[in-house]
Amino acid sequence: MYRILQADKLAANIYRMVVEAPRVAARCLPGQFLIAKSDEEGERIPLTICDYDREAGTVTIVFQPVGASTTKMAELKAGDSFMDFVGPLGRPSDLVDEPIEELKKKKILFIAGGVGTAPVYPQVKWLHEQGVQADAIIGAKSKDFVILEKEFSEVCNLYVTTDDGSYGRSGMVTKCLEDLVAEGHEYDHCVAIGPMIMMKFVCKLTEKLGIPTIVSMNPVMVDGTGMCGACRLLVGGEVKFACVDGPEFDGHKVDFDQAMQRMQQYKTEEGRAMLKLQEGDTHHGGCGQCS
């Protein structure tokens, strides 16, 4: 069992939990995810890692209830436990493999939208710990949906923007990026994590601006182990699975339209049957073992 040490509500329908999981905390790196299961009847939920403390043996998760299992998860309190808390899974951010001196030469920008703010934080924090300064844009619908502002402000140059202009700058994250570029900011690398539609339009803009961009395809994951085939996507025309090949990919190579259409189709039994017919041997096979 994995005990919950802290549970709080960050914003409207967005929850944070600090979980005692020393083996996960000892090995996880920015960009990875885990699978949580509250009890025997609960679903296995892939969740990106928001923070970790190796010394304390804790891992922080942030999530938004969207179904029965995550709604039940949100009812858990400090002192309760998860039945399973498996990780780290997926490949860590490419940034952790680059020489620190090379990273210090780069002007790096992070763009976070909604709950996607959570998996951006450990990357920014990790860079800060290595002495690498970065910029970050946090986007939200309104002031009530802005999360982790204090945490970000301590580790990077932060710009907050809201769709309705109720807090920070006004407009989408793409407008904020355009404004920053117009103000003279230049960037060599971008990491964008958030809703699929946000990542799509960020990538359209950064491609136009000539900024290499990495995105996290965690939103398309269901099983998290490569068994279900739900997170099958096209990257540069090649079939990839977000959970075993990612979750991070070159955003300029991801076919977002195909991924979003597939997400909707995968939700129904008829849709899954059609995908199986259309995709043949590649419908399943992220792990290479399932028939």
Listing DSSP states for 129-162 in one string gives HTT--EEEEEEESSGGG--SHHHHHTTSEEEEEE
Tell me the one-letter amino acid at 90. Answer: G
DSSP bridge pairs for 108: 134, 189
Contact 73, 38 (CB under 8 A): yes
Last residue of a domain, one of 183, 216, 249: 216
- CATH number of domain containing 170: 3.40.50.80
Same domain, 13 and 71: yes
Query: The domain containing residue 207 runs over which residues?
Result: 98-216
Are 126 and 223 in the same domain?
Answer: no
> Tokens for 132?
């690498």
- Determine the 3-state secondary structure of 95 from DSSP: helix
Do residue 148 and residue 207 come from a single domain? yes
Q: If you compute the radius of gyration of the chain from its CA atoms, what whole number of angstroms results?
A: 19
Residues 121 and 185 in one domain: yes
Handedness of CA 264, 16, 83, 23 (dihedral sign): positive
Instruction: Give me the number of domains the chain comprises.
Output: 3
Answer for the pair 36, 47: CB distance below 8 angstroms, yes or no: yes
Whole-angstrom CA distances from 157 to 42, 60, 100 are 39, 22, 19
Query: 29: domain CATH number?
Result: 2.40.30.10
Q: Answer yes or no: do 117 and 194 share one domain.
A: yes
| Residues 6+ away with beta carbon under 8 Å from 19 | 2, 3, 4, 5, 36, 58, 59, 60, 61, 82, 85
Question: Tokens in use for 152?
Answer: 């970000």
Please give the backbone phi and psi of residue 22, each rounded to the nearest 5 degrees, phi first: -60, -35
Name every residue whose Cβ is closer than 8 Å to that of residue 24 and which is 6 or more positions away in sequence.
34, 52, 59, 85, 86, 87, 88
User: What's residue 269's pLDDT?
Assistant: 59
203 and 128 in one domain?
Answer: yes
Instruction: With CA atoms as reference, report the closest residue to 168 among 149, 183, 148, 186.
Output: 149
Asked if 233 and 187 sit in the same domain, the reply is no
Are the C-beta atoms of residues 109 and 137 closer than 8 Å to each other?
Answer: yes
Domain boundary among 89, 114, 138: 89
Helices (H) and strands (E) in the chain, counts: 10, 16
Last residue of a domain, one of 154, 185, 216: 216
Centre a 10 Å sphere on the Cβ of residue 189 and count the other Cβ atoms it contains.
Answer: 19
For each successive 10 residues of the chain (291 residues), what is the average pLDDT?
A: 94 92 95 90 86 96 87 92 91 93 95 93 96 96 93 96 94 96 96 94 97 90 66 87 88 90 63 59 51 38
Instruction: Identify whether residues 8 and 22 lie together within a single domain.
Output: yes
42 plus 70 within the same structural domain: yes
Query: Do 212 and 227 fall within a single domain?
Result: no
| 245 and 273 both lie in a single domain | yes
Looking at the fold, whether 59 and 17 belong to one and the same domain comes out as yes
